[in-house]
Amino acid sequence: MPRIDQITLRCRDPQAQQRFYVDVLGMVGRNDGTIGYRDEEAGLVFELAEKPYQPSNQDVYWKIALAVPNIELACDQLHRKGVQVGAARQFQDIGYLAHFQDPEGFTIELIEHWFKGNRPDQQHDTARLGGGATLNLLTLRTHDIAAIHKSCLDWGMTPLSVQHVHGFGFTLYFYAFTDEHRPNPDLTAVENREWLYQRPYTVLEIQEMEEAPQMHPTPDGAAGYAGAKFAGMVRELLPNALQISAKTL
C-alpha cells in the first residue's frame, strides 16, 4: 500500500530544527534518514534555506498536525519545555485543537483523537507527547479543489472526510492511501472526524480557500515547504500548485 512517506521543509538551521522535533516533540531518527514517530507515518526532512521562513495564507503549505490522545497533557508537556502553545479549544464540529510554532516559525497543530468531552477515561503514557503523538495531517492549500480531487483519485487515494468550516471562507478535504472504510459513508458526516484523527498513517488535508488568489510555491532559496514523497509510487507532491513530477521514490 502506498503512503505519504516524507515531508521536506527548508529552513535556516536544519540541525536546530531536528533537535526541536526530537528533544521536544519526541520524534526519532528512522532508517530512511527522516525523523518521525512510526514508519507508517510520514517522516520529516529539513534542508538548508538561504532566506528565512515568511508564512502567508497564499502559500501552498499550511501546517502539519500531530494527533494525540490527550491534548491537555501535550500542552502541559510543551509549556514545561518552554514552548508557547495556544489554549486547547473545540473548534466548531471540526476538532479539539491547539497551535504552536517550531523555532523557524512553521505552524504545528495539536489535534486530539476525540472532540472535547468525548475522551475515554484511560491512562496515557506521560513520557510521550500527549500520550503518544502521530503525524496525522499534512495540510496544503488550493483555490480549486476539482483538479486536486481528480489527482488524488488517480493516485489511488481514498476520500475520508469533507469539512465545511462555517464563517471562515474555506472547506477541508481529506485523502489517504488506505482501504479502510470510514464510519459513515457520507463524507460530510461529523462522526467520521474523530475516527480520522485516530488514523495510524499520515492523511493529506487540502484547505480550499473560497475567495483566494492563486496559491504560490516557496520562492527559490527561501525557507518553506519543499515537497512530499509517496512511498510505493513514482510520485512526488511538489509545492508548485500541487503539480506532480515523476520521480523514483
pLDDT at 248: 25
Q: How far apart are CA 88 and CA 216, in angstroms?
A: 30
Alpha helical stretches, state H, 81-190: 145-155
Establish if 24 belongs to a structural domain.
yes
Q: According to the model, what pLDDT value does residue 207 have? A: 94
Number of domains, the chain: 1
Other CB atoms closer than 10 Å to residue 218's CB: what's the count?
A: 22
CB neighbour list of residue 246: distance below 8 Å, 6 or more residues apart: 234, 235
List Cβ neighbours of 178 (8 Å cut-off, separation of 6 or more).
1, 158, 160, 199, 201
30 contacts: CB under 8 Å, gap ≥ 6? 36, 39, 43
Instruction: Please answer whether residues 90 and 115 qualify as being in contact, where contact means their C-beta atoms are separated by less than 8 angstroms.
Output: yes
**Does 218 fall in a domain?**
yes
| pLDDT value of residue 220 | 80
Residue 246 lies in a domain: no
Q: Would you say 47 and 10 are in contact if contact means Cβ atoms under 8 Å apart?
A: yes
Low-confidence ranges of the chain (pLDDT < 50): 241-249
Of 99, 7, 59, 97, nearest to 209 by C-alpha is 59
Q: Is 243 a domain residue?
A: no
Q: CA 129, CA 204: separation in Å to the nearest integer?
A: 22
Residue 2 CB neighbour total at 10 angstroms: 16
Domain assignment present for residue 118? The answer is: yes
Q: Which cell numbers hold the place of 13? A: 538551521
pLDDT at position 219 is 81
CATH of residue 106's domain is: 3.10.180.10
The full 3-state SS of 47-87, as one line of letters, equals EECCECCCCCCCECEEEEEEEECCHHHHHHHHHHCCCCCCC
Give the cell for residue 130: 500527549
State the Cα–Cα distance between residues 203 and 4, nearest whole angstrom: 8
Three-class SS state of 235 = coil
* All three cell numbers of 74: 501535550
Neighbours of 6 (CB within 10 A): 23
For residue 9, being part of any structural domain is answered with yes
pLDDT value, residue 143: 86
pLDDT value for 213: 64
pLDDT at 233: 67
The answer to whether residue 151 is domain-embedded is: yes
CB 3 within 8 A of CB 231: yes
Question: What is the residue range of 183's domain?
Answer: 3-237
